[in-house]
A and B are shown apart, each in its own frame.
Chain A
């Protein structure tokens, strides 16, 4: 996975966001470097901040922490043993006394041993103590999603499990500029945040990332392209496939599509979704995680509740199949350009 996909992506996805500063000094950075830069800024400005996880001392498996230990010291950037439940619990304790805590789970697939701590402890600390304690300074990062050949345990997209838990926020960036702004906002947010990074884009997504400290607000979706015939909703790596399908659909079907990057799964930006669907009357939602119980179901329900009389066609979901993430069938499994295009076509022709 070190030599990530080298395909060309358009500037739409990896361009800037309205909330990011423009016309300021910037450096060409991959998503990985951009995330590393956001952590570096945090460690520099916030002297309480710590970064830790498995193999972090030598940079972590993807080398996100490369150089940070040397720069900020081994008391602040350190290895944990191989024990996700322990990592999460430890992070919660650290955060409960107000320390800015950035914990890495090596792959999102390995967050499940930590599931209990995250869902039962982190998410409910504030509520059950009547607001006396909270773990607002906690951020858990994990690389998620397909990586071309990751098979069952290096590919999963667990966002829906966490979005289902009140008290947690779930954020997924699509490009280097967003990764930095969203990560800084997530670290500083007063709630525990899960930050899932599309690892397929770690090295292949490149952008001129502003050098300065900036935040992209959580809970705010971004309209990447305005359109009038159909709304396409996605996040993270999925947008790469959606964009390709969109370009093809606009050309072949002579339609105009509106593409929305949710950026934050929870809390969800309902307004942006509702306004868009009211305008277009048609909607397609895509994600890599399995369809059944997937996050698209929640979005669809919100649309149904709020836009029923505006809908011209059933809400269409294009998702991973309801199977474990496969080894040799990866290309068949995830919602690629072709499946999304077919989805757009059937929704338009309904």
Chain B
């Protein structure tokens, strides 16, 4: 199954992957090594740094009331969004919950459209109607961006069925959190997927907390990768981008041949749950600091590049600064974008053929459209 990376890449480095846990699958099948080149690593690093800047800036912009609605940041979890996309294509369907900025970026929504959407501007990827929790990209099979915890899982089973039905060589990636693993819908979906051998990857981003509740207080079974039983499951280090990439590459192949598979990615969110949660009332600051120091997914790639003499600290710092500057520029530009027309309040509720009456406070300014 190592078809893709068994080819000798010019200038490739070998990395051995961290230990995994498996359920209902022979661990020997799962990759234990990865190869990667400087170019690849630089690309992953750029993407992860971009997402991190996006999140840190979003934090700022939210506090300045430029971003409204509810906003959930994914810094700390970048390696999952980036590593996963390195193993699949835009033909593979993706659906997630509300912590979706990183996924949106990796599914090819441009930063200007992302910021415009965060601000609720007309040029946003959802015309400013969805905001932070609702990014979508139809051409790139990105089905959102969902507000109701667990709802995306059942929808994901339908996406997987559609791919199989249409005989596409693609899988559905169904993302959810550790907290969401308590929702009944997930198991309804998982059962259907296994019963009908659907090409689905159930991806649990286990960041140890569902809002303010630690996973030990929310799940009787802490081996989340086993919760799809009898579907097989793998638990990996979600902070190691190559582990993510290799495992998803393997899982896609597996799911297409055999049916659903679960991947639990051990990860950590640096920010609070959402912008109204400082994130320190239910976990110790030390815990956050320790997670950052020991397992940061960006630092890991930087270390690799330096270790392998592919880059210097200064080069990487400079790169980070450039990204920071670019992201800020794009955000500032998006601030100047126009607001959606008032009529947009009424559009997209139903399909075409529906007339809407917009009664302005001043009757003479009312419109029928």
- A residues bordering B, Cβ < 8 Å? 1-2, 54-55, 57-58, 61, 79, 81-83, 85-86, 109-110, 112-113, 148-154, 321-324, 326-329, 332-333, 338-339, 342
Contact = CB atoms under 8 A, between A and B. Distances in A.
Contacts of A150: 69-70
B282 A58 contact: yes
Contacts of B134: 152
A332 B120 CA distance: 14
B217 interface: yes
Interface in B329-358: 339-340, 342, 344-346, 349
A339 B281 CA distance: 42
Interface in B248-286: 276-277, 281-282
Given A113-B148, A113-B150, A327-B129, A149 B69 contact: yes
B312 interface: no
Contacts of A1: 276
A249 to B, nearest CB: 14
Nearest to A328: B120
B182 A110 contact: no
Interface in B165-210: 179-180, 182-185, 210
Interface string B150-162: 1100000000000
15 contacts: A1-B276, A81-B213, A82-B150, A82-B180, A82-B182, A82-B183, A83-B182, A83-B183, A85-B184, A86-B184, A153-B148, A326-B129, A327-B69, A327-B130, A338-B361
Nearest to B184: A85
Given A151-B70, A327-B128, A82 B218 contact: yes
B183 A58 contact: no
A55 B212 contact: yes
A55 B213 contact: yes
B322 interface: no
B114 interface: no
Contacts of B233: none
Given A82-B182, A153-B133, A328-B68, 7 more contacts: A57-B217, A82-B210, A85-B184, A153-B148, A154-B70, A323-B345, A339-B361
A85 B185 CA distance: 10
B97 to A, nearest CB: 11
A321 B346 contact: yes
A205 B68 CA distance: 23
Interface residues of B, number: 40
Nearest to B281: A58
Nearest to B211: A55
Interface of B: 68-70, 120, 128-131, 133-134, 147-151, 179-180, 182-185, 210-213, 217-219, 276-277, 281-282, 339-340, 342, 344-346, 349, 361
A326 B120 CA distance: 10
B69 A332 contact: no
B179 A82 contact: yes
A150 B120 CA distance: 13
B182 to A, nearest CB: 3
Secondary structure call for the A interface: loop
B147 A81 contact: no
Nearest to B129: A327
B286 to A, nearest CB: 18
A1 B68 CA distance: 10
A342 B219 contact: no
B120 A54 contact: no
B131 A151 contact: yes
A226 B349 CA distance: 40
A339 B358 CA distance: 13
Contacts of A58: 212-213, 281-282
A325 to B, nearest CB: 10
Contact of A109 (B147, B277, B340): B147
Contact of B213 (A79, A113, A324): A79
Contacts of A332: 342, 345
A110 B345 contact: no
A110 B151 CA distance: 11
B361 A327 contact: no
Contacts of B150: 82-83, 113
B30 to A, nearest CB: 29
B291 to A, nearest CB: 20
Q: Which of A57, A79, A83, A326 has the most CB of B within 10 A?
A: A83
A151 B342 CA distance: 16
A112 B148 contact: yes
Nearest to B219: A81
Contacts of A326: 129, 345
A322 B218 CA distance: 37
Nearest to B180: A82
A328 B339 contact: yes
Q: Which of B129, B179, B185, B219 has the most CB of A within 10 A?
A: B129
Contacts of B185: 113
Nearest to A147: B70
A149 B69 CA distance: 5
A322 B349 contact: yes
Contacts of B179: 81-82
A327 B121 CA distance: 10
Contacts of B180: 82
Contact of A327 (B131, B149, B184): B131
A57 B216 CA distance: 13
Nearest to B183: A83
Given A81-B182, A81-B219, A112-B148, A323 B349 contact: yes
